[in-house]
């Protein structure tokens, strides 16, 4: 057992399985008390089973920390507030929020229904807003009452390569995840006096990468040349523990991809090249004549499948 998070209190959404489960175990091993939130739904958000969260509560309690379950959906603004209140009522405070809950409703854009778009945006992007909004109000209130706390709060969000590098069939999921990365940067600036807000981009074997997309099972089960289980979700959890700790007090507004034995720093939208027209507006024809000049200097976009192949030498 470590003590990096000793006596801290964390809410982890979607903590019943996959990444959230591994994050809960890793944080518990560092002495953190936990609110384990999980609706107990299938990967597409259907159904509900309370025992999923209950089982994780028992598992982390065996590691010597306190834990309680929560079964609510992060899509409900008021229930998100109740989750913050639950942590404070049970443990007397809240230090850390890990926004991990997610679902998939993959569909090519020309076939996607309104509900498939709205539901995915609702869980990922609105859910991240709901939880962070109420946690932020609490963190601010605490620091205003006691400035010596400094930026004690920690928020760790979860984005995806689907939003930052793109992926077929996931315009809904990708838009939500890109939104979360942007939300992270903006929230970090607004909350810097009270909390840090950072984001991870995990590449890991979960229900969203295997159950939802069976063609990924073979790739996600591969070992690298040393025998490392590259896509084991347990590989991601240590970065979450670090970002949740006091050691990360000066890390704010950053986005990190985490996979296998690698942590990669993402940079968001930024200018990579430009063309000028001597203080005169461009005309459509002049743009047509010079667009290749603009595009020639742009670096190639990252490709998710090329990265996967590099990790396991496919």
pLDDT given for residue 217 in this prediction? 62
The closest alpha carbon to 38, from 29, 46, 27, 49, belongs to: 49
- The confidence band for 228, taking pLDDT boundaries of 50, 70 and 90, is confident
Each residue's pLDDT tens digit, 166-175: 888 999 999 9
- Average pLDDT on 224-232 reads 81
Q: Please state which CATH number belongs to domain 9-269.
A: 3.40.50.720
- The confidence band for 314, taking pLDDT boundaries of 50, 70 and 90, is very low
pLDDT given for residue 211 in this prediction? 55
pLDDT given for residue 42 in this prediction? 65
The closest alpha carbon to 8, from 235, 248, 191, belongs to: 248
- The confidence band for 231, taking pLDDT boundaries of 50, 70 and 90, is confident
CATH 3.40.50.720 residue ranges of the chain are 9-269
pLDDT given for residue 197 in this prediction? 98
- Average pLDDT on 263-289 reads 92
- The confidence band for 43, taking pLDDT boundaries of 50, 70 and 90, is low
- Average pLDDT on 84-109 reads 96
Number of residues in the chain: 314
- The confidence band for 290, taking pLDDT boundaries of 50, 70 and 90, is very high
Give, as one character, the DSSP assignment of residue 265: E
Question: Strands, E, within the chain: which ranges?
Answer: 9-13, 33-37, 67-70, 96-98, 153-158, 195-202, 255-259, 262-266
**Residue from 71, 73, 126, 160 carrying the catalytic annotation:** 160
Give, as one character, the DSSP assignment of residue 228: -
**Residue from 8, 29, 126, 177 carrying the catalytic annotation:** 177
Active site residue 173: yes
116 contacts: CB under 8 Å, gap ≥ 6: 105, 107, 172
Residue 73 Cα distances to 34, 36, 81, 183, 276, angstroms: 17, 12, 11, 20, 50
Could you give the count of Cα atoms lying within 13 Å of 206 in the half-sphere of its Cβ?
28
pLDDT given for residue 53 in this prediction? 96
Of 59-68, 111-120, 196-205, the range with the lowest mean pLDDT is 196-205
pLDDT given for residue 44 in this prediction? 57
Q: Kindly report the average pLDDT of the chain as a whole number.
A: 91
Report how far residue 39's alpha carbon sits from residue 28's, in angstroms, rounded to the nearest whole number: 21
pLDDT given for residue 216 in this prediction? 61
Phi, psi at 133, each rounded to 5°: -60, -45
Each residue's pLDDT tens digit, 129-159: 999 999 999 999 999 999 999 999 999 999 9
Residues 123, 20 contacting (CB under 8 angstroms): no
**Letter string b/e over residues 196-211, b meaning 16 or more CB atoms within 10 A of that residue's CB:** bbbbbbbbbbbbbbbe
**Residue from 8, 29, 73, 173 carrying the catalytic annotation:** 173
User: Taking the CA atoms of the chain, what radius of gyration do you get in angstroms?
Assistant: 21
Active site residue 51: no
Active site residue 160: yes
Joined together, the tokens standing for residue 203 give 């590449």
Neighbours of 164 (CB within 10 A): 23
266 contacts: CB under 8 Å, gap ≥ 6: 164, 181, 201, 254, 255, 256, 257
- The confidence band for 241, taking pLDDT boundaries of 50, 70 and 90, is very high
């Amino acid at each position: 057992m470590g003590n990096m998070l000793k006596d801290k209190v964390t809410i982890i959404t979607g903590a019943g399985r996959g990444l959230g489960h591994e994050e809960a175990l890793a944080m518990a091993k560092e002495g953190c008390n936990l609110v384990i939130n999980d609706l107990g739904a299938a990967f597409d958000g259907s159904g509900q089973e309370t025992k999923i969260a209950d089982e994780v509560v028992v598992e982390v309690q065996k590691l010597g920390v306190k834990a309680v379950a929560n079964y609510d959906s992060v899509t409900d603004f008021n229930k998100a507030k109740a989750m913050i209140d639950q942590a404070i009522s049970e443990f007397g405070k809240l230090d850390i929020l890990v926004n991990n809950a997610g679902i998939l409703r993959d569909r090519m854009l020309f076939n996607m229904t309104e509900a498939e778009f709205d539901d995915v945006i609702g869980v990922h992007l609105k859910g991240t807003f709901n939880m962070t909004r109420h946690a932020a109000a609490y963190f601010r209130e605490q620091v205003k009452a006691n400035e010596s706390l400094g930026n004690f709060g920690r928020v760790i969000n979860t984005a995806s390569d689907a939003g930052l590098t793109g992926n077929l069939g996931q315009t809904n999921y990708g838009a939500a995840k890109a939104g979360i990365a942007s939300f992270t940067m903006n929230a970090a600036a607004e909350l810097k006096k009270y909390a840090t807000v950072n984001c991870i981009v995990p590449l890991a074997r979960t229900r969203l990468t295997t159950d939802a997309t069976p063609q990924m099972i073979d790739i996600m089960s591969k070992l690298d040349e040393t025998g490392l289980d590259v896509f084991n979700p347990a590989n991601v959890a240590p970065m979450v523990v670090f970002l949740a700790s006091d050691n990360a007090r000066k890390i704010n507004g950053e986005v990190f991809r985490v996979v296998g034995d690698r942590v990669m720093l993402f940079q968001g939208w930024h200018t990579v090249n430009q063309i000028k027209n001597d203080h005169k507006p461009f005309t459509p024809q002049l743009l047509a004549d010079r667009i290749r000049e603009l595009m020639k200097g742009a670096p190639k976009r990252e490709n998710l499948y090329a990265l996967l192949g590099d990790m396991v030498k496919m």
